[in-house]
Structure 1
Amino acid sequence: MITETLKTLSDATRLRILNLLSHGEMCVCELEYLLGIKQSNLSKHLGILERNHFILRNRKNKFVYCQINYEFLDQCHFAEEILSLLKSEEPFSSDEMNYQTYLNSSLTYDCLPILLLEERLKEKRG
């Protein structure tokens, strides 16, 4: 268990995901938007986090939501300690600022897929 836990925590993207989820349950589209990564890449990391018991996922209508599995973290104190130290370092502190900006905006998770599609179209057009 310790080896798999350390492997899971060895990736910066997975740590960034966990850092954002420390604020509470989030839709996958919110994570994709805030992290600025493609959905396929995010799904891969979410799968690893879920298989290793760090997160719980559930579907509500057409959206998938993720949250930290605190029951697991309570059993794995060193992982909890690592996650508590992240907020002051880059890129985690930038993620925190992006999250606060998002909270203060008028964006909602149901409009984020449209914004993400628009960004992808802009990228393709160059």
Structure 2
Amino acid sequence: MRFSLSSRFYAASAVAALATLIASCQSKAPIVTTDAHSALSTMERVAVSANGCWFKSSDPAFASYSLAPELNSYTGRPRILVVPRSNPAGRPLLVVQAEGNPARMEAFGPMMSGPASARITNDVNRWAGGAKSC
């Protein structure tokens, strides 16, 4: 099967447009920590606090979601996922992950484009720094 130069151009353009569309759907916000803890210990603190403050407290902003921690990471990026409560195996709506020592953190996903974005950033930064308060 042979493709003309113009069909290759259109295929390449379609792939580039699709990649741009996918990237624009995932808002990414850096969350910076200033402590000297590893990615794993930082994400353990964040996961415990997020579970208690967002989910076990029945916070209305997180009532329709569940927490899915993935702290055992072979990539060196432990993370927590926030997924729809009705579909725990569904696409994550929020990913908070850390990498390195000291930990460098980031959060991304559709929830980072919504009304809870600033709160998520503030909470995660506070918990990553060692605070336990909600």
Does the pair score TM above 0.5? no
Question: Could you state the TM-score of these two structures normalised by the residue count of structure 2?
Answer: 0.26
Normalized per residue, the structure richer in strand is 2
Normalized per residue, the structure richer in helix is 1
Question: Could you state the TM-score of these two structures normalised by the residue count of structure 1?
Answer: 0.27
Q: Which of the two has higher C-alpha Rg?
A: 2
